[in-house]
């Protein structure tokens, strides 16, 4: 499969391209140039053309990209043509925000169950998703679940991840501000608010220096 | 300044490197090889060496990296040797989670004030940060504020961003699931939970295919 040689940085940009194409198609835009597309996603067009080149001829010189075709292609590439079931561990403010977010709206990802230690939350539903006791986590069979979203306090993240792993889950979207120690067959993606803020501040200062020089 | 030629993908990895180095230094680790460092950050060592090469000789062949030196270097590069003041707009679940997160703990970023429309929240403090009325946003002088964190519902994001812009802010960390239309001198960094989940699912499926082929 061609995508096996796709660099990680390219792969990480695909969901952003996909989301932007969904908006373009929804707005009735049938084609777009790489430079115009670059403005929308705030990535230079050279990088965009390079990214798409890994997947063969997706655009034509002088014509640009067929938005519907490209959207369909990325949908398949990102496995968004099938339903991806995930669970969420930790129904605090962040967990509740993610449950309210409703991933299903624009894509095929669904939080099918949530877990928490708080007896007041267990048995309730948050935005339609039922909250179960943490004790049930390791006991449940989660081999059909593609990933667990971790929104527990840092001190409990490792233990929660191990329980999820024992239930058959090997993908983790970790929002807890700590590094997880998991076996090699597990895949962790860390979402770090501090990292995002630092990147923003870097680019802000950097762009000011470039403009002033 | 050398960093002006740093690719965006490299710049985006710097905060992750910095965070990991902070942990290594805190744990008393004085040096580390690029391959071992690569395992920790889950990025291949070739990419890491390439990233650091933009900043000159930061490591030595056969020795690896001096963790303290590299951490100090990145601290300065990421402007973490000065206090970065930000504001937060929208004290819902996500906003509250970010206020509780306490950015100051490990770095020099501080949410100095929050804004919301809810009369029950206005005038209260969340984790020490005071909540002001949205009406005050455009009226306040925010030229000393480096960025605004947007955690309002999608329908209110554009209006909130425009008010912040009018008060002197030009950096935005946008958690609202919508695209902002702002003038060229504004810089927006979009944090999209859907994008993060899709990237995770891509890498999970991709790594399984690689292993099975």
Residue B1, pLDDT > 70, answer no
Listed as own residue / partner, the contacts of B79-84 with beta carbons closer than 8 Å and 24 or more positions apart are: B79/A201, B79/A202, B79/A205, B80/A198, B80/B18, B80/B107, B80/B108, B81/B108, B82/B108, B83/B108, B83/B109, B83/B110, B84/A197, B84/A201, B84/B108, B84/B109, B84/B110, B84/B146, B84/B147
- CB-CB: which of A1, A149, A170 is closest to B209? A1
> Does A93 appear as a known binding residue?
yes
What pLDDT is recorded for position B104?
A: 52
CB neighbours (10 Å) of residue B131?
Answer: 20
Mean pLDDT of B172-199: 85
- CB-CB: which of B96, B189, B204 is closest to A147? B204
Percent of chain B with pLDDT over 70: 92
CB B40 within 8 A of CB A179: yes
Give the nearest chain A residue to B40 (CA atoms). Answer: A179
Mean pLDDT of B168-190: 88
Give the nearest chain B residue to A10 (CA atoms). Answer: B9
Chain A: nearest CA to B62, how far in angstroms? 26
Chain B: nearest CA to A63, how far in angstroms? 25
Confirm or reject contact between A179 and chain B (CB < 8 A). yes
Asked if the Cβ–Cβ distance from A84 to B201 is below 8 Å, we say yes
Mean pLDDT of B85-113: 84
> Which chain A residues touch B199 with a CB distance below 8 Å?
11-12, 14-15, 189
What pLDDT is recorded for position A104?
A: 53
The pLDDT profile of chain A, 213 residues, written as one tens digit per residue, is 444 478 777 888 898 899 889 889 999 999 999 889 988 887 888 888 888 888 887 777 778 899 999 999 999 988 888 888 999 999 999 999 889 876 655 567 889 999 999 999 999 999 999 999 999 998 888 888 999 999 999 899 999 999 999 999 989 999 887 888 899 889 888 887 778 888 888 888 776 555 444
CB neighbours (10 Å) of residue A168?
Answer: 12
pTM, rounded to two decimals: 0.78
> Does B91 appear as a known binding residue?
yes
Mean pLDDT of B91-109: 79
Mean pLDDT of B205-210: 64
3-state class of B88 per DSSP? strand
Angle CA B210–A108–A100, to nearest 5: 125
Asked if the Cβ–Cβ distance from A11 to B199 is below 8 Å, we say yes
Confirm or reject contact between B98 and chain A (CB < 8 A). yes
The closest alpha carbon to B169, from B191, B192, B149, belongs to B149
CA distances from residue A105 to A99, B110, B200 in whole angstroms, order as listed: 12, 33, 18
Asked if the Cβ–Cβ distance from A147 to B173 is below 8 Å, we say no
Preferred mutation among B97, B107, B164 to probe A, highest tally of A CBs within 10 A: B97
Confirm or reject contact between B209 and chain A (CB < 8 A). yes
Residue B77, pLDDT > 50, answer yes
Chain A: nearest CA to B153, how far in angstroms? 10
- CB-CB: which of A40, A188, A192 is closest to B19? A192
**Among A4-13, A21-30, B36-45, B86-95, where is mean pLDDT lowest?**
A4-13
C-alpha span between B201 and A189 (Å, rounded) = 10
Mean pLDDT of B30-39: 90
Residue B63, pLDDT > 90, answer no
Q: Which of the four pLDDT bands, split at 50, 70 and 90, describes residue B3?
A: very low
- CB-CB: which of B77, B93, B210 is closest to A4? B210
Q: Which of the four pLDDT bands, split at 50, 70 and 90, describes residue B212?
A: very low
């Amino acid at each position: 499969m061609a995508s096996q040689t796709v660099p990680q940085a390219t792969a990480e940009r695909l969901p952003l391209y996909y989301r932007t194409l969904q908006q373009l198609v929804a707005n009735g835009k049938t084609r777009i140039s790489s430079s115009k597309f670059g403005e929308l996603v705030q990535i230079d067009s050279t990088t965009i053309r390079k990214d798409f080149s890994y997947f063969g001829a997706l655009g034509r010189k002088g014509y640009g990209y067929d938005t519907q075709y490209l959207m369909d292609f990325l949908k398949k590439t990102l496995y968004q043509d099938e339903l991806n079931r995930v669970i969420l561990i930790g129904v605090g403010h962040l967990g509740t925000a993610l449950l309210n977010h409703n991933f299903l709206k624009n894509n095929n990802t669904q939080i099918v169950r949530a877990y928490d230690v708080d007896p007041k939350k267990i048995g309730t539903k948050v935005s339609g998703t039922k909250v179960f006791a943490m004790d049930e986590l390791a006991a449940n069979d989660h081999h059909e679940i593609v990933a667990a979203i971790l929104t527990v306090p840092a001190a409990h993240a490792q233990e929660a991840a191990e329980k999820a792993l024992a239930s058959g889950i090997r993908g983790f979207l970790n929002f807890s501000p700590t590094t997880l120690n998991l076996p090699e067959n597990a895949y962790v993606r860390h979402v770090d608010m501090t990292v995002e803020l630092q990147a923003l501040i870097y680019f802000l200062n950097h762009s000011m220096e470039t403009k002033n020089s």
